[in-house]
Amino acid sequence: MLHFLHDCGTAPATKTTEGHHFRRVALQRRILDAHGERPRLGPLYGRLMARAAELGLFRGERRTARRPPMDVSSGRGFVFVSHTGEVHPSGFLPVSAGNVRGRPLTEIYRDSALFTPLRDPSLLRGSCGACEFKAVCGGSRSRAYGFTGDVLESDPYCAYEPGSFPYRDELRSLTESTRCRPPGAPYGA
């Protein structure tokens, strides 16, 4: 499905919510394209592409620029404040880091014991922690919490096998600029 969204991402531009793996796919496809390779895709991909063509999604007049997937997720560039002032890493992650009635939002976001570890991919556990894409994907912290009760555990819906992508040097060069700041580092560092 994510490869389909990538390939249809210009007709119209694609944006995912809780689709962290889409950033991994976009990077993989960029590198594979540079090597003149295509990923192995299953029958669902073929059916989706055929249906998209039937609907006219690939006519030139509907194409737009591909939207780069944003590296924004729970606690990393995103915050949710409920109607009662409770601050959560996302609307899908029902764990509070505090309340804006008692503490400034900027302080909660920058310094709370919940938000700070979410911005440090080296703290992820399981397959997410072992994954070479953790700095740009990180998996869904909401699903990890929903299944395990731990926001730093592996995303149970990720099918990627860490270490299986063959072009590690190219990947490393693309992901170096996306690494999160260490906890406590000043903004702009």
Please tell me the pTM assigned to this model: 0.76
Q: What is the pLDDT of residue 135?
A: 86
What is the number of other CB atoms lying within 10 angstroms of the CB of residue 43?
A: 7
Cα separation, 24 vs 2, in Å, equals 10
> For the chain, what are the domain ranges?
2-62, 73-178
What is the number of other CB atoms lying within 10 angstroms of the CB of residue 48?
A: 17
Phi, psi dihedral angles at 93 (to 5 degrees) = -115, 100
Q: What is the pLDDT of residue 32?
A: 92
Sign of CA dihedral 179, 139, 30, 164: positive
Enumerate residues 6+ apart whose C-beta is below 8 A from 92: 18, 74, 140, 142
3-state secondary structure of 47: helix
Reading the chain (189 residues) residue by residue, the pLDDT tens digits are: 888 888 877 666 666 777 778 888 888 888 998 999 988 898 999 999 899 888 877 665 545 555 555 555 677 778 999 999 999 998 889 999 999 999 999 999 999 999 999 999 999 999 999 999 998 888 899 999 999 999 999 999 998 999 999 998 888 887 765 444 444 443 333
Ranges of beta strands (E only) in the chain are 73-74, 77-78, 80-81, 87-88
Q: Which residue has the tokens 């819906």?
A: 157
